[in-house]
Amino acid sequence: MKKGLLSFILCTMFGIGTAACAEPQCMDAAFPAAVRPAKAGAGQSSTVQNPADWRLVLVNAAHPVGDFTPPELITLRNGVRVDARIYPDLQQMFDDMRAEGLSPIAGEGFRTFDEQCEMMCGRIREYRRKGYSRTESESMARAYVAEPGTSEHQLGLAVDINSENGDHQSVYEWLAARAHEYGFILRYPQGGESVTGYAYEPWHYRYVGREAAQEITGSGMTLEEYLGADD
């Protein structure tokens, strides 16, 4: 078992093992469903090991990726990592945005399984500090943070894009209008919550390749709908 995951389990179950376990603790119950590692089971499938097209791998609650690492990662200048195969299109998109006076930055890229565990745990702790119950905190956290094993960030194909100078809205508007030209789609669009399972995130873009991105964006579909996996 990986050291990070072992520490996380100790933290979650017993409140010991890492500095992150300082009060308030991660949870007040042993390894709750909200932070339980996702594995393919009945009614679930995982296509990440042998996808027909690596750009169109679907990862969500029904299609877990497990503890996956892309074949090759590249590190951006701010330390964020992405799948090396998406880098040329990502760099071209950022260059073109900068040429138009914007200051895009990739705030999040590839995350390991353990890092996803820590993120979920941290969001739950945040809500608990605000006085919400355990159940409320888990539910609220799930709206914005994927359970470990079900996050697109574990593919290295998803990037959270914001602005270095704080002008986030201008960046979001540019991306909404142009990102598909570079192979990226708005993964969690407004109005798609019942299909994707996540709240609207104007910063979260997923690489699917230029052809698929134009088809998905032009049709207004989510990735689930495009792949016929929205049932």
Q: Between 91 and 23, whose confidence is greater?
A: 91
Question: Which residues contact residue 204 at a Cβ distance below 8 angstroms, ignoring those fewer than 6 apart?
Answer: 152, 158, 159, 160, 186, 187, 188
pLDDT at 229: 83
Question: Which residues contact residue 79 at a Cβ distance below 8 angstroms, ignoring those fewer than 6 apart?
Answer: none
Residue 38 has pLDDT above 50, yes or no: no
Residue 11 has pLDDT above 50, yes or no: no
Question: Considering only CA atoms, which of 84, 87, 222, 70 is closest in space to residue 153?
Answer: 70
Residue 3 has pLDDT above 70, yes or no: no
Reported as a pLDDT band with limits 50, 70 and 90, residue 165 is very high
Across residues 8-21, what is the average pLDDT?
37
Domains of the chain: 52-111+151-226 (3.30.1380.10)
pLDDT at 67: 84
Across residues 174-180, what is the average pLDDT?
98
pLDDT at 21: 33
pLDDT at 141: 93
Question: Which residues contact residue 203 at a Cβ distance below 8 angstroms, ignoring those fewer than 6 apart?
Answer: 107, 160, 161, 162, 168, 171, 172
Reported as a pLDDT band with limits 50, 70 and 90, residue 186 is very high
| Rg of the chain over all Cα atoms, to the nearest angstrom | 18
Active site residue 138: no
pLDDT at 66: 83
Specify whether the CB–CB gap between 45 and 63 falls below 8 A: yes
Across residues 18-31, what is the average pLDDT?
33
What separation in angstroms does the CA of 147 have from each of 9, 23, 74, 183, 228? 14, 22, 24, 26, 22
pLDDT at 6: 43
Q: Which position has the token pair 């030209």?
A: 181
Reported as a pLDDT band with limits 50, 70 and 90, residue 16 is very low
pLDDT tens digit sequence for 48-59: 544 579 999 999
Question: Which residues contact residue 112 at a Cβ distance below 8 angstroms, ignoring those fewer than 6 apart?
Answer: 4, 67, 69, 154
pLDDT at 172: 98
Residue 94 has pLDDT above 60, yes or no: yes
Residue 182 has pLDDT above 70, yes or no: yes
Reported as a pLDDT band with limits 50, 70 and 90, residue 231 is low
Tell me the one-letter amino acid at 218: G
Which structure tokens are listed for 170?
Answer: 């201008």
Catalytic position from the list 201, 211, 215, 225 = 201
pLDDT tens digit sequence for 107-155: 999 999 999 999 999 999 999 999 999 999 999 998 888 889 999 999 9
pLDDT at 221: 96
State the angle between helix axes of 134-142 and 113-129 in degrees (0 to 180), rounded to the nearest 10.
130
